[in-house]
Structure 1
Amino acid sequence: MEQARVEYFRGKDFVSFIKNHPECKEILEEDKDLDTEDIANVLLEKNLLVRCDRVTKTLRPGKKKLSTWPVHLEIFRVSLFAVDWMIDLSLKMMRFFPWTFEKRHPLWQTLSSFFWPVLTRSICLFPVYPHRCKLIVLYSCAGILLMILSLLFVRAVAFGGMWILLGKRVWFFPNILAEEATLKELFRFWPKKDEEEPPKWRSRLFYTVVAVVVVMLLRRHAPDEAARARYQ
C-alpha cells in the first residue's frame, strides 16, 4: 500500500469471522452488543484500519478472474465499512482493509540495522582488501551466481518436460524471480496451481521436435576427449 508492506483482510471475511467467533466481542465490554459494521467503523474512525482498493482492476491475459489477494493496494476515498459491504456485494472488488498499527520489531531487524552499515562500509573498503580476501569474495560470488543459474536451469528443464509430456505448467520455486517476495516466499518450493488452458498437442509436438534437434546438435558438436584434455 503506497510502497509499504501491510497486512490486510477482506470485508466479508471480517463479517464471517465475527459471526463465527462471538466470544471475540467480550473484549469490548460495554460495547460488546455492537454490530459487526459498527465495530469496523469504530476501528476506521480510530485510524486502526484504512479503506483500500486494488490497484489493478483489469484481468491479465489468460486469467478468468481477478486475484483474490492483490499485491498492490491504494487508499480508497470511502472509509465506512457499511458502504464497503454494499459495494462488495455489487462489484466484488473494493473490499480490503489494511491494519495501520505497527508490530513490535523482532530481534533480527534490530541486528540488521546494526550490520547493514557495517556491511556497506566493508563493501566500500573492498579495493584495499588483501589479495587473498578479494579471491574469497570473488569465488563466493561466483559460487552463488552458479547456484542461482543452476536452479533456474533445473526449474526450466522440469517445466519443459512436464509441459511436453503432461501438458502442465509447473514452475518449481515459483517466486525465485519475484522482486517483492519475502525471503520465506522466495524459496517456497511448491508450485502454484495451473489455472490456464492446457496447451494444444500440436504445440507440444513442435517443441518436442525442437528439443530433440537441439540435444542432437549439442551431442554432435560436443568436444571429444582430446579437446577436453586440452581445456583441462
Structure 2
Amino acid sequence: MGSKGEPAGVDTIKQFAEALRSKGGIENRSGVLQGERFELFRGKDLVRWVKANPEKCAAAGGVKGGEGEELAKYLGQQLIRRRLALRVDRLNKKPLPGSKRMVKFPRKLVPLPPEQANAFAEDGFYVWLCECPTSLWTYVWTALIPLGVLGACLFPLAPNWAKVAVFYLSSGLLILILGLLLLRGTLAAVTWIVSGRTLWLLPNLLSEELPITQIFKPLLSVQHPAENASKWSSHPLTRVAVGAALGGFLYVLYSHSPNAGKLQPPSSIGNEATRYRDDLMDWLGVQREGYQRLSNNSSAAVNATDAAAANATAAGEEAGGAGAAAEAATEPAAEAEAAAEAAGDAAAEPEAAAESEAGDAGAEL
C-alpha cells in the first residue's frame, strides 16, 4: 500500500526493496536457513545506503519516515512488516581459525524468536523473502544450463583430443586438491607432535562460512590448545605415542611398497601407474579411437605379412612343381640315351668279332 500523496497502485516499499537488491544497492550474499537458500543482507548496510541515497527513499518514507538513521529504521521495519524481509541470526558465533573476527556474511543461519525477528536492528542479519528482479544474466545462465547438460550427454561423441584434455584436466585438479590436503594434514600433524600447537596451512580451506574468494586467507595460522581441553590432549606422552603410531604406519607402507623387493626395477611404481592410467582411459573410452587405429594398423600389417608368406609358399610350390615336371621330362631322354648306348655296344660287338677273325686269318696266311 502506498503512502499518502503518491499515485494509486504504486507500492513504494516494494520499489525500495527492488532498489536495494538491484545494481548499485546494498551487498547481498547467499545463506542457508533451515535447509533453504536465501539472499542475505546486513542492517548496517541498509542504514548506510539510506543515508547516502535520501532522494531514493523519500517516496517510500512518506511523511512518517523522518531522515537519516530514523528513516532507515522505519524502512527496515516496513520491510519486515510487509513480509519482504526476515531477521535471522548466524549459526556459528565464533571466529574461524586464523581470524580474530567473525565472518562478514555467515553461510548458515538460524531463525530468531518472533519478538526479535519482527523488530529491526542495525546490527542484525536479514534474508529476502521477495523475489529478486530478473536480470539479463539470469536468462543467459538459464540458457547455458541445458546447453551444458546436452554437452555432457554428447561427451562420448567428442573427438579424442577433447576427451584426453578433459581427462587430464580433471585428473590434475583432483591430484592438486588431494596433494594440498595431504600437505596440509602432514604439516599440522608434525607441528602438533613437535610443539603441541598446530600450524595450519590455509586454515579456511574447508570452511563453509566463506565464499571461494576468501578461503585462501590467511595463508598460515597457529592453533593453540583449547582452555577447557583435557590435559592429555596435548601432553608430551600423547604426542609421542601418536608420533610412534604414525611412524609405524609409514614403515609398514614403505616395507610393502612395490619398490621394496630387490628384484623389482626402481620404476615399477611408475610402470604400474602408467598401466592403471591406460586401463582407466580405456575403460572410459578416452583412447578407444587411438586403440582402434593401432589395432587396425597392426591387423593390416599381420594380414600383409600372412599374404606375403602365402604368396611365397605358393611360389615355392609352383617352383617345386616345375622342377618335378622338368625331372619327369628328362627321364625319357635319359632312357633313350641309355638304349642308344646299349644298341651301339651291341652293333660294335659283331664288328669287333669280324675284325678279330680277319686278323687271325691273315696271321695264318
- Distance across 2 between alignment mates of 1:25 and 1:54: 27
- Distance across 2 between alignment mates of 1:187 and 1:55: 22
2:246 pairs with one of 200, 211, 218: 211
Q: 1:32-88 CA distances to partner (integer Å, 9 max, x unpaired)?
A: 17387545423423545312245689x9xxxxxxx8856123375344327x79xx9
1:158 pairs with one of 175, 180, 187: 187
Q: Name the residue aligned to 1:63.
A: none
Amino acid across the alignment from 2:246 = A
- Distance across 2 between alignment mates of 1:196 and 1:137: 44
Cα pair 2:40 2:125 within 8 Å, conserved? no
**Superposed counterparts of 1:5-84, under 5 Å:** 5-9=38-42, 14=44, 24=51, 27=54, 31-32=66-67, 34=70, 38=74, 40-53=76-89, 69=106, 71-74=108-111, 77-78=114-115, 79-81=117-119
Q: Which protein has the bigger strand share?
A: 2
- Distance across 2 between alignment mates of 1:218 and 1:54: 44
Which structure's CA Rg is the greater one? 2
Q: Name the residue aligned to 1:200.
A: 235
Amino acid across the alignment from 2:240 = L
Runs of at least 4 residues of structure 1 off by over 6 A?
A: none
Q: 1:103-137 CA distances to partner (integer Å, 9 max, x unpaired)?
A: 88596x66544433222111101222334433332
- Distance across 2 between alignment mates of 1:110 and 1:174: 37
Number of residues of Structure 1 aligned to a counterpart in Structure 2: 207
- Distance across 2 between alignment mates of 1:129 and 1:180: 38
Q: Kindly, what percent of the aligned residue pairs are identical?
A: 18
Q: Name the residue aligned to 1:184.
A: 213
- Distance across 2 between alignment mates of 1:193 and 1:170: 5
Q: Name the residue aligned to 1:139.
A: 168
Alpha-carbon offset, residue 143 of structure 1: 1.9
- In structure 1, the gaps of 5 or more residues are 60-66, 89-94
Q: 1:81 to 1:205 in 2, by over 3 A?
A: same
Q: 1:167 to 1:131 in 2, by over 3 A?
A: same
Computed over aligned residues only, the root mean square deviation of the Cα atoms, in angstroms, reads: 4.3
Q: 1:54 to 1:76 in 2, by over 3 A?
A: farther
Amino acid across the alignment from 1:41 = Q
Q: 1:161-201 CA distances to partner (integer Å, 9 max, x unpaired)?
A: 22212323344334544567533245555366747517232
Alpha-carbon offset, residue 159 of structure 1: 1.4
Cα pair 2:205 2:216 within 8 Å, conserved? yes
Cα pair 1:26 1:32 within 8 Å, conserved? no
Bigger RCO of structures 1 and 2 (CA < 8 A, at least 6 apart): 1
- In structure 2, the gaps of 5 or more residues are 1-32, 95-101, 272-365
Q: Name the residue aligned to 1:115.
A: 144
1:125 pairs with one of 154, 160, 169: 154
